[in-house]
A = this chain, B = another copy of it.
Amino acid sequence: MARRRTVDEHAGRIAALVGPSLARHETEVLPLAGTLGRVTSEPVTTAGPLPPFRNAQMDGYAARSADVRRTPVVLPVDGVVPAAASAAQTLEEGHLLKVMTGAPVPEGADCVVPVEQTAEEDGGVRILRPVEPGAFVREAGSDALPGTVVVPAHTHLAPRHIAAAAAAGVAEVVVRRRPRVAVIATGAEVVPPGAPLALGQVHDVNGVTLAALAQEAGAEVALVDLTPDDPAAFEQALLRAVGAADLVLTAGGVSKGDYEVVRQVLEPLGADVTEIAMQPGGPQGFASVRGVPVVCLPGNPVSAQVSFTVFLRPLLRGAVGLPLIPAVPMPLAAALHSPKGKRQWLRGVVKAEGVYPVGGAGSHLVVAMAGADVLIDVPAETDFVGAGSTVSVLPL
């Protein structure tokens, strides 16, 4: 038998095919309130200084520091500067103006005396302690000068970035468009969720699951289709999908059986379908249709999930600026046996003492996989790993 392609080789080919399509970085303009979790395409800058004007850091009295150097002293209060002052005020020598936190500090004043350091008196306010020049005054531009980048390009927008953009008065932000992913699940035996089952039929798992995986990896799901093992129907779905998406995922139809619709339609178009030396996984492939990458995943729901996680999750997350989810070393809590020749991705559950393999190797064990939280990566040449050994696990 021809040597099977390794996981790393296949990952490299998928990345070479899919990467450029995801890297196209089309942009869209969104109102600031709709940008949480999106990635900036351009830096956000502030046109004016932040804060926009010199303002009080405390509720208290704007003063000339020369007047409040020797204390106690009683000074007359000329009025109040409210938070929203509509015109510049000027503080006369030897006087005070009351200010609220955030209010403009009037011309002439160079400090704010906190209200806690004062006492009201007939004819004015007693300043109890001396105040330094500049005290409790926030200078205009002390957070950011005009033209400052307040959120760099390629930032994954968290609330604090939205806060900085809002402070800069920005109403709309240019963000990277999410990659659009289309999913086509195939199989004559597959029926939609909730439909009754005849003998030999199963409910669709791949359509809804690959859509959820793509969404979780930061993509927008352009469409989910379900086609029987009929080349014409699959071809129709495929053309719809490549017209709507930056990446098309198919599930099923790439095995050695007699009704392998994905292979039948895509191999004449140059698809590369081959056996990958991994389990679950098996035969899978890729093609480019009208310039859009099509990745052909196995039809088995566990194999499809594992293959997505290994081959596509890093590419999508990378493209949208989400942090990658790296494999981590971890002690194996219970010994495991593994068939030689294929790299195994066993489902595992992490506990304090390490990771336990769960649910067996069968790639039909969808419920067992729901109870797992990691994939245990067992190299192809390994047939036994003892308890306490370190294994590499990939968080789900």
Partner among B32, B138, B187 whose Cβ is within 8 Å of the Cβ of A193: B32
Within A291-309, the residues touching B (CB, 8 Å) are 299-301, 305
CB pair A160–B396 under 8 Å, yes or no, is: yes
A60 to chain B, nearest CB (A): 9
Main secondary structure of the interface of A (DSSP, over half): loop
Copies in the complex: 2
Partner among B166, B170, B211, B256 whose Cβ is within 8 Å of the Cβ of A59: B256
User: Given contacts A83-B229, A84-B201, is CB(A189)–CB(B366) below 8 Å?
Assistant: no
Q: A162: CB under 8 A from chain B?
A: yes
Partner among B104, B197, B364 whose Cβ is within 8 Å of the Cβ of A143: B364
**Docked pose: A176 CA to B187 CA in angstroms:** 34
Partner among B102, B148, B158 whose Cβ is within 8 Å of the Cβ of A367: B148
Closest to A35 in B: B212
- Residues on A facing B (Cβ under 8 Å): 1, 31-33, 36-37, 46, 48, 50-53, 55, 57, 59, 80, 82-88, 98, 100-104, 115-116, 138, 142-144, 148, 150-151, 158-164, 166-172, 187-189, 192-195, 197-205, 208-209, 211-213, 215-216, 224, 229, 255-259, 299-301, 305, 362, 364-370, 372, 396
A-B complex: 9 closest residue pairs judged by Cβ atoms: A171-B194, A100-B257, A164-B370, A84-B189, A85-B200, A159-B212, A84-B188, A163-B209, A171-B193
